[in-house]
Amino acid sequence: MLVVLGLGYAGWAAARQAKATGCAVAGTARDPASLAPDARALAIPFAAAAEAIRTATHLLVTTPPTEAGDPVLTTHAAALAAALAAGTLRWVGYISTTGVYGDRGGAEVDEATVPAPGQPRSRRRLAAEQAWRDVTAGRAALDLMRAGGIYGPGRSAFDDLRAGTARRVVKPGHAFSRIHRDDIALAVLAALAQDRAPSPRVLHLVDDEPVESATVTGYAADLLGLAPPPAIPFETARETMSPMALSFWSENRRVANAATKAALGIAWRYPTYREGLAAILEQERREGLAQ
């Protein structure tokens, strides 16, 4: 039984693919009634997830930490302890963020790089990672899945371009790492299928080509047959950016993934933004959602 604690954008993609393989799946949501019908059929309220956790063999945790800590650990500590003590729970996958590495001035980080988070939200993520290390130590395999910027259908450069809100901000040498939603699901399914010793492992859920944001926006515009938005120097654009946006632009790193793909025995379905965007557009057109 796989229990996905957080049937959000990436969590639902992983749950859907696991279910398609014949795996028994349940998931949580703060408000199951707000989910699409197929996701709602798997969902239980987060507050009522204790019994599902006690019987789970695998847990995928996508819920972000708060200032009070990881909500799974603070709400369902007793159920989790029972599952671990019984030996029922064999694997935990925790979706974290590459933000735990902080600013590296454009240098590369790999799975063995020591984290150095610079933002409060990234420090909370690293603290949550450590809490899961402590809880699972010697009792279950733990995969700390540090993800880049997540995109996919409904969450891509196409949406901003169609809405007329896309901006092509230029900051030479400043690269972002990304991952398609369905490649997160691919990695999750590969990881939970492995029979590993009860130890922690760091995985990087990022594609093969970190690039500048402006490059992705321009490519998406080309696919839509639109003129790309005018280039805006970062120093100009920053004047109207939110504090959250500025925090993302304040950090620059290139995230390697070779060790992750080797450990999982996978190649990404969408190794770069080019394949990812092309697939999104093809799906949108097939479903009548785009010209």
Angle between helices 273-286 and 213-224 (to 10 degrees): 30
Residue 6 confidence (pLDDT) above 70: yes
- Residue 290: pLDDT band (50, 70, 90) is low
User: Where is 204: in which H helix or E strand?
Assistant: strand 200-205
> DSSP H helical segments within the chain, as ranges?
9-20, 37-40, 50-55, 71-75, 77-86, 120-136, 157-163, 181-192, 213-224, 234-237, 243-249, 258-264, 273-286
Dist. CA 143–CA 16, nearest whole Å: 20
Q: Nearest CA to 269 among 189, 161, 202? A: 189
Q: What radius of gyration do the chain's Cα atoms show? A: 19
pTM reported for the whole predicted model: 0.96
Dist. CA 1–CA 91, nearest whole Å: 11
Tell me the domain boundaries of the chain.
2-152+177-211+254-270
- Give the model's pLDDT for residue 291: 56
Those residues whose C-beta lies under 8 Å from the C-beta of residue 184, and which sit 6 or more positions away, are 10, 13, 14, 95, 145, 147, 150, 205
- Give the model's pLDDT for residue 42: 87
Backbone angles phi, psi at 288, to 5 degrees: 75, 25
2-152+177-211+254-270 architecture in CATH?
A: 3-Layer(aba) Sandwich (3.40)
Amino acid letter, residue 74? T
pLDDT tens digits, one per residue of 134-193: 999 999 999 999 999 999 999 999 999 999 999 999 999 999 999 999 999 999 999 999
pLDDT tens digits, one per residue of 115-138: 999 999 999 999 999 999 999 999
Q: Nearest CA to 229 among 169, 186, 271, 189? A: 169
CB 186 within 8 A of CB 243: no
